[in-house]
């Protein structure tokens, strides 16, 4: 027995006859196997077709071959499948336009790789009764498009001078630094009078001169834009933020608006205002109305100014702003 193979030791010399039920079951089993193979083949083909269609529907992002390294980096870091061609259009200061020219912020964002620098070397505010003396500051807003619908922003009232009043001496310093984001949610539908909508959230940091630091505060805003009759554009924001005139975090509702009319291709006029507080922390605890202009000497530069006044006892007698915005 030791010389026989392993299978021969345990196998019978007389094979058993095949049962009758297996003669019927075997063809059925083979048929089932063929059916499953066909189904798997169909499923694999369907998956291949779906993958090809899915790949075909995703357009090639031309920003990956942009001239500027910053735009190529953002295209790789933040893939954008909504409208990648926007990133390749020439950046202009006219569209979406400066945000600091008037009080409300537009729901539109910069395209990926776009940069705006908005600065107001002249921003004067007269005394607010019982709250603050007259002030002068030189504010700035840096805007950077990370995707075609997401914008990162840094804002500050910048260098600030405050007159002596209310038991305090004359003070100079730097106002708090504010980190801000804006998201463009969807575009306007004029047929249904549905506005373009955006969302903005900001955090005011305690990084400022001690005289002007008011701790960490935050705010959330919904941004809207409608096109009205006679070429008038309405922008309006609603939201909640901290009242910087109070101690600690005191939520306060915010409403701000502007109606803008394009006089020529290069010149616009507007009326604007806010209730309780401006969204970008400039003025607070009052209702203000005013008007101004925006002038576009070129596609890369805009100049703007506005004059405003408070409508209640807690508002400033007047405020005056002159500024400019550049693209990069």
If 0-12 CB within 10 Å is exposed, 13-18 middle and 19+ buried, where does residue 159 land? middle
Q: How confident is the model at residue 303 (pLDDT cuts 50, 70, 90)?
A: very high
Considering the domain 90-327, what is its CATH architecture?
Answer: Beta Barrel (2.40)
Q: How confident is the model at residue 150 (pLDDT cuts 50, 70, 90)?
A: very high
% of the chain surpassing 90 pLDDT: 47
Average pLDDT of span 171-178: 94
Q: Which of 68-77, 160-169, 235-244 has the lowest mean pLDDT?
A: 68-77
For the chain, domain boundaries: 21-57, 90-327
Cα–Cα dist 14/78, whole Å: 73
- Residue 129 backbone zone (phi > 0: left; psi -120 to 50: alpha; other: beta): beta
| Whether the Cβ atoms of residue 124 and residue 290 lie closer than 8 Å to each other | no
Rounded to two decimals, what is the model's pTM?
Answer: 0.76
Task: Give residues with Cβ within 8 angstroms of 117, minimum separation 6.
Answer: 140, 141, 142, 143, 325, 326, 328
Q: Is the confidence at residue 11, as pLDDT, over 50?
A: no
| 248 φ/ψ angles, rounded to the nearest 5 degrees | 80, -165
What are the tens digits of pLDDT across the range 209-232? 998 888 888 899 999 999 999 989
Q: How confident is the model at residue 285 (pLDDT cuts 50, 70, 90)?
A: low
Position with higher pLDDT, 34 vs 167: 167
Average pLDDT of span 15-24: 46
Q: pLDDT at position 216, please?
A: 86
Cα–Cα dist 101/325, whole Å: 9
Q: Which of 138-152, 243-257, 273-287 has the lowest mean pLDDT?
A: 243-257
| 306 φ/ψ angles, rounded to the nearest 5 degrees | -155, 155
Cis peptide before 176 (omega within 30 of 0): no
Mean pLDDT, all residues of the chain: 80
| 237 φ/ψ angles, rounded to the nearest 5 degrees | -125, 140
| Whether the Cβ atoms of residue 202 and residue 189 lie closer than 8 Å to each other | no
What are the tens digits of pLDDT across the range 74-118? 777 766 555 556 666 788 999 999 999 999 999 999 988 899 999
Cα–Cα dist 221/285, whole Å: 17
């Amino acid at each position: 027995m030791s010389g026989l193979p392993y299978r021969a030791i345990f196998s019978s010399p007389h094979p058993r006859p095949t049962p009758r039920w297996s003669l019927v079951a075997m063809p059925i089993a083979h048929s089932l196997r063929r059916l499953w193979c066909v189904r798997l083949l169909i499923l694999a083909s369907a998956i291949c077709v779906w993958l090809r269609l899915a790949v075909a529907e995703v357009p090639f992002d031309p920003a990956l071959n942009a001239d500027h390294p910053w735009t190529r980096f953002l295209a790789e870091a933040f893939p954008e499948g909504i409208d990648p061609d926007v990133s390749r259009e020439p950046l202009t200061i006219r569209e979406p336009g400066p945000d600091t020219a008037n009080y409300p912020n537009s729901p539109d964002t910069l395209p990926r790789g776009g940069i705006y620098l908005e600065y107001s070397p002249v921003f004067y505010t007269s005394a607010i009764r019982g709250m603050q003396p007259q002030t002068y500051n030189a504010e700035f807003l840096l805007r950077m498009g990370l995707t075609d619908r997401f914008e990162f922003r840094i804002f500050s009232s910048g260098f600030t001078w405050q007159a002596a009043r209310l038991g305090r001496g004359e003070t100079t310093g730097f106002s708090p630094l504010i980190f801000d984001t804006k998201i463009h949610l969807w575009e306007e539908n004029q047929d249904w009078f549905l506005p373009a909508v955006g969302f903005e959230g900001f955090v005011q940091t305690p990084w400022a001169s001690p005289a002007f630091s008011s701790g960490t505060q935050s705010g959330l805003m919904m941004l809207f834009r409608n096109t009205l009759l006679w070429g008038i554009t309405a922008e309006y924001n609603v939201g909640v933020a901290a009242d910087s005139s109070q101690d600690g975090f005191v939520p306060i509702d915010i409403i701000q608006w502007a109606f803008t009319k394009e006089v020529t291709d290069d010149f616009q006029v507007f009326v604007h205002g806010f209730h309780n507080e401006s969204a970008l922390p400039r003025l607070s605890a009052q209702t203000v109305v005013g008007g101004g202009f925006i002038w576009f000497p070129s596609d890369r530069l805009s100049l703007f100014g506005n004059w405003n006044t408070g409508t209640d006892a807690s508002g400033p007698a007047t405020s005056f702003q002159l500024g400019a915005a550049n693209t990069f």
